[in-house]
Amino acid sequence: KVDICLSPNLLNLYKLEEKIVVIVDILRATSCMVAGLASGVKSITPVASLEECTNLMEQGFIGAGERNGHRVEGFDLGNSPFEYMSEAVREKKVAMTTTNGTQALVLSKGAEQILIGAFLNLSFLANYLKKQNNDVLIVCAGWKGKFCIEDTLFAGALAKELENDFHSEDDSVLAAQTLYEVAQNDMYSYLLQSSHYKRLSHLEGGKDVEFCIQKDKFEVIPVLKGQEIVLWEG
């Protein structure tokens, strides 16, 4: 079975045990994770608070702190995928806290496995999931508990890839797939109307949006192992 949780605020409606959870924050946390780990970042430790992130920085981690789309003062990185692909973070351990993506991840602890999804690794992730026996729950990070379009589009795209191998019962799956069908041929134009595009475009994040909606740029699956997200290695 595949289900879509449209906001982390709805997570208490789902049983996480025995499920494979796919965390999705297309703009931009999970896109950063996929791009960073595919480009040589050693590991990413997601934490909920700025304080936890600062503590890890004191232990030698590179600190990535984002709130409301901005890099938080005192942190090494903000939340642009281009920062995660730079030479400065190659082979480094990164500690990361973001407004929504890392919060959704922390709330999903308790699942059998937690994977990171983005358009950047869509097909590779789907092919992995098709070979698993566990139910899949796609968790959209949303925006401060609210529904958001770009995560739902990705959830629809992934659910569509899985439709021959998994059944679904939730209307959220039908809704997300329908939305994806409407937007898939020109996601960029579709997202121009979205709230987070507007937020990021004020911060010159337009090029991040173009980057994050590319499909299948990387053949990797980030997976949570203990406290760290690392590349799944089979």
Q: Calculate Rg over the CA atoms of the chain.
A: 16
Q: How far is the CB of 130 from ligand MLT (least distance, A)?
A: 27
Q: Which residue in the set 9, 55, 86, 99 belongs to the binding site for ligand MLT (CB under 6 A)? A: 99
Asked whether position 177 contacts ligand MLT by CB under 6 A, the answer is no
Asked whether position 217 contacts ligand MLT by CB under 6 A, the answer is no
Contact range with ligand MLT by CB under 6 A, out of 45-53, 98-106, 108-116, 187-195: 98-106
Q: Which residues pair with 223 in a beta bridge?
A: 115, 230
Q: Closest CB to ligand MLT among 26 and 162?
A: 26
Q: Which residue in the set 4, 16, 22, 27 belongs to the binding site for ligand MLT (CB under 6 A)? A: 27
Asked whether position 100 contacts ligand MLT by CB under 6 A, the answer is yes
Burial environment of residue 185 by CB neighbours within 10 A (0 to 12, 13 to 18, 19 or more): exposed
Beginning with the edge strand found earlier in the chain, give each strand of the sheet holding 20-24 in spatial order: 2-5, 136-140, 20-24, 113-117, 222-225, 228-231, 43-46, 93-97, 62-67, 70-71
What is the binding site for ligand MLT (CB under 6 A)? 25, 27-29, 66, 69, 79, 98-101, 141
